Amino acid sequence: MYRFQDVARPAATAAKHFVGTPAMRMASSLCPGEYSAPSVETSIPGPKSKKLLAELSQIQPSGSVQLFADYNKSLGNYLVDVDGNVMLDVYTQISSMPLGYNHPDMLKALECDENKKAVVNRPALGVFPGADWPEKLRNTLMSVAPKGMDSLTTMMCGSCSNENAYKNMFMKYQRDKRGGTSDFTDLEKESCMINMPPGAPKLSILSFKGAFHGRTLGVLSTTHSKYVHKLDVPAFDWPIARFPVYKYPLHENLRENEQEDERCLAEVEELIEKWEKKGNPVAGIVVEPIQSEGGDNHASPCFFQHLQKIAKKYNAGFLIDEVQTGGGPTGKMWCHEHFDLETSPDIVTFSKKMQTGGYYLKSEFLPDMPYRVFNTWMGDPTKIVLLDAILKVIKRENLLSVVEKSGDILMSGLRELEAEFPALINSTRGRGTFITFDAADTKLREDIVNRLLTKGVQSGGCGVVGIRMRPALIFQPHHAHMFLDRLRQVLAETK
């Protein structure tokens, strides 16, 4: 019933180890003047980073800080730290740098007086937008809107985008119950002020184990990736379904993975019906197209197609969280475009590579009264200035094609390394350059990430054993070969 489909395009050719002179490598770069290769001068973090960390620790919590960067010297795919170490960055600020560092088109966008004034005169967009705001939105965010999504709400970050999108689903669900109107009774108005029904109804959002949708209070009830995010914080009584856990290689486990889809989808329906009986009906379903923070967990297109049908069956909103996957890293502007959904999702949230937060939504999910989804800033016009430059470069340089080519090399190269070092790494998976492979255990994962750093590669972990790649869209085939060579060195040196 649920035909499983692979989650990664097969590579056309096997990866070759990196060859070519530094001059050749720079000449082919989409960022002129980019460094030709990594260069490690000190330990990482180095002495200057450690000194700054001690200073910062006296001001604010800084346990998560890995190093201090020199953003004046960072360029293209290379991050430079304050100690002069030049690192090939395949993590790019947690997947948020579409054109790498100091791209000339983005710098140029901030040179004109009009855009400088957008920085100086930051408006409360929900009340006092500038005359050019509708045009800017049409030319940027709406120009890449997922097919069938005709409305937009701008926000500041990924968490607040999901937070407010949940409100849209709740409001639409209740409006439908009222017959399509927002004529509130006096009892609803009074009861909501003391957090009681019927004005503050019992409603829920269904999410998935392993999911990450943010750290603010509401969305935290739908985040299930790491306990450190959730400890000591009260949570809503909302249903949590199993997300497919596939066996790799995919082509050797087709039937078992199809059955996993069936089990997970059946559980979604069971939970919706259970929460309906509890008097806490599911008003929306939220899902990532790839569970990123939780370990780069993939599901088949068939899983998402049937999940959307379940949402429609129970009149629940269908929200796809593209905060990390949106903006092109999977080879399409939006990862859910790989799934051939029957119709567009009801809501798609975004941030990171899109520079600003926000969400696309179908018009029926818009509130029919002002101030129901609102804050002072409602986004940031300066980020739209940067996004305009980014989208022009993506189109001019055909960067989604670059993503596919580099992704093919990474996928085939990693699978070769899996075959060469089967006791060390496994389960390579991904779309485009949005790729992860697993280490044999958590200790080895941390060791590989740390030793890649000593060879000038900045990477990151996800889930329990995953090592994730989140390079910029300008990450080219020679960068992919460079990464694979250094990873092979690390694996060969592992005892």
Instruction: Spot the catalytic one: 172, 352, 362, 383.
Output: 352
End-to-end CA distance of the chain: 45
Q: Three-state SS for 97?
A: coil
Q: Looking at the DSSP assignment, which residues form a beta bridge with residue 39?
A: 86
Residue 86 CB contacts under 8 Å (≥ 6 apart), including other chains: 35, 37, 38, 39, 40, 78, 79, 80, 456
Q: Report how many helices (DSSP H) and strands (DSSP E) the chain contains, helices first.
A: 14, 16
Q: Where are the alpha helices (DSSP H) in 125-279?
A: 133-139, 158-177, 186-192, 254-277
Of the candidates 316, 317, 283, 298, which has an alpha carbon nearest to the alpha carbon of residue 437? Answer: 298
* Residue 32: exposure state from Cβ atoms within 10 A (0-12, 13-18, ≥19): exposed
| CA dist list (Å): 206 to 219, 270, 326 | 11, 11, 22
Beta strands 357-361; 204-208: pairing state? unpaired
Catalytic residue status for 376: yes
Contact 459, 469 (CB under 8 A): yes
Using the structure block, give the residue that is written with the tokens 């022009």.
392
Contact 139, 145 (CB under 8 A): no
Q: How far apart are CA 169 and CA 346, in angstroms?
A: 9
Q: Three-state SS for 363?
A: helix
Helix (H) or strand (E) holding 420: helix 399-420
- The 10 Å Cβ neighbour count of residue 55 is 10
Q: What are phi and psi of 233, to 5 degrees?
A: -105, 125
Residue 99 exposure: Cα atoms within 13 Å on the Cβ side: 24
Q: How far apart are CA 109 and CA 94, in angstroms?
A: 24
Using the structure block, give the residue that is written with the tokens 């080219």.
476
Residue 393 exposure: Cα atoms within 13 Å on the Cβ side: 23
DSSP 229: G
Q: How far apart are CA 426 and CA 252, in angstroms?
A: 14
- The 10 Å Cβ neighbour count of residue 450 is 12
Contact 382, 413 (CB under 8 A): no
Instruction: Spot the catalytic one: 296, 321, 346, 438.
Output: 321
Instruction: Spot the catalytic one: 4, 68, 208, 212.
Output: 212
Q: Three-state SS for 37?
A: coil
Catalytic residue status for 18: no
Catalytic residue status for 325: no
Catalytic residue status for 13: no
Instruction: Spot the catalytic one: 376, 442, 443, 454.
Output: 376
- The 10 Å Cβ neighbour count of residue 307 is 23
Active-site residue numbers? Answer: 212, 321, 352, 376
